[in-house]
Structure 1
Amino acid sequence: MEKKKTEHVTHTFGPVYNKDSEILILGSFPSVKSREGEFYYHHPQNRFWKVLSYLLDVEQPVSIEEKKQLLLKNHIALWDVIESCDICGSSDSSIKNVVPNDIPSLLKQTNIKKIVVNGGKADELYKRYCLKQTEIKAIRLPSTSPANAIWSFERLINEWERIFSD
């Protein structure tokens, strides 16, 4: 079995937001599938779009444009904590040499009052690299990644409902 090597990777697609965005959802860094597809949560087994669609009571978007429209229509911004890092494949646990995205700059261009992080690694990275600048405590939610199989769809829904409550 060939061992995957660590490589330095830069985020190649920008955040989804507009001036009306009120909620920011942050992941850690795009998976290999997301980097290949050049959009967030592109892995077919990732439950992000399924969870969000269910909570918003809309049909699950398929195209990148439909996904962007779903987010913007519901005042949701989407980005990742990391702009570039050393990573082995899609493994969050392998992430090193982090350069964070400029989250404070995005906040200045929006009405974001709530920040949600998708999983433990995003939470850890946000606290380490962004919290001091943003001064907004993030709500940590369980990862929608297929690697987080211990969380059923129903359990994810129950936790992710917190996005829309105060």
Structure 2
Amino acid sequence: MSAVQGFPPVAAADARLLILGSMPGCASLDAGRYYAHPRNAFWPIVGELLGFAPELPYVQRLQALQAAGVALWDVIAACERAGSLDADIVAGSVHANDFSAFFAVHRQIRDVFFNGAAAEQAFRRHVLPGLALPGLRLHRLPSTSPAHAALDRAAKLAAWSAIVALPNK
């Protein structure tokens, strides 16, 4: 069992939506980048929806997200986990990120999209009870992880199109 630490948020001041994962997997932690596993569909799906090439250098992909008003982070700041699977996270070891401080700075965000059920469950359990943000809309999307093989890429892309279907409020 090893202790793992997540990444800081990627968010411009004018972000209008937030995409949350649970905790970066081993490939991402080793690379120091969000969604670094070569079979994770996050960058191909989000790139297609937001109009940028998923092969762009990492910094340019992050800039494209921010230019589109999309913030990116994880629910869990630190935990103990063996391997990369969310199922391997030791429940009592979870330390959530400081969402009160995040939302105090990013006041335009009204929609939170979860990259999979584990992210949503962690947010509802560890963050939502202490968060006073009326009107925050929560949306679960299918995980882009290669471990989530129940849906093919086309079905995931169709579900993820919700991030571009929001009104610009």
Per the TM superposition, whether the score is higher than 0.5 is: yes
Q: Of 88, 91, 98, which residue of structure 2 is paired with 1:102?
A: 98
Equivalences, count: 160
Alignment partner, residue 154 of structure 1: 154
User: Is 1:126 equivalent to 2:126 in the alignment?
Assistant: no
CA contact (8 A) 2:50 2:164 kept: no
My pick for the range that moved more, 86-95 or 62-71, is 62-71
Task: Report % sequence identity.
Answer: 34
Q: Of 1, 4, 7, which residue of structure 2 is paired with 1:9?
A: 4
Shift of 1:127: 0.5
Alignment partner, residue 23 of structure 2: 29
Q: What one-letter code is carried by the residue in structure 2 that aligns with 1:53? A: G
Q: What one-letter code is carried by the residue in structure 2 that aligns with 1:131? A: L
CA-to-partner distance for each residue in 1:43-83, whole Å, 9 max, x for gaps?
01000000001112332243221111111110000000001
Structure 2: gaps spanning 5 or more residues: none
Alignment partner, residue 138 of structure 2: 138
Runs of 4+ in 1 over 6 A off after TM superposition: none
Alignment partner, residue 45 of structure 2: 51
Q: TM-score, normalised by structure 2?
A: 0.90
User: Is 1:67 equivalent to 2:61 in the alignment?
Assistant: yes
Aligned equivalents of 1:162 and 1:51: distance in 2? 12
CA contact (8 A) 1:16 1:78 kept: yes
Structure 1: gaps spanning 5 or more residues: 1-5
CA contact (8 A) 1:131 1:137 kept: no
CA contact (8 A) 1:61 1:70 kept: no
Shift of 1:145: 0.2
Aligned equivalents of 1:51 and 1:119: distance in 2? 14
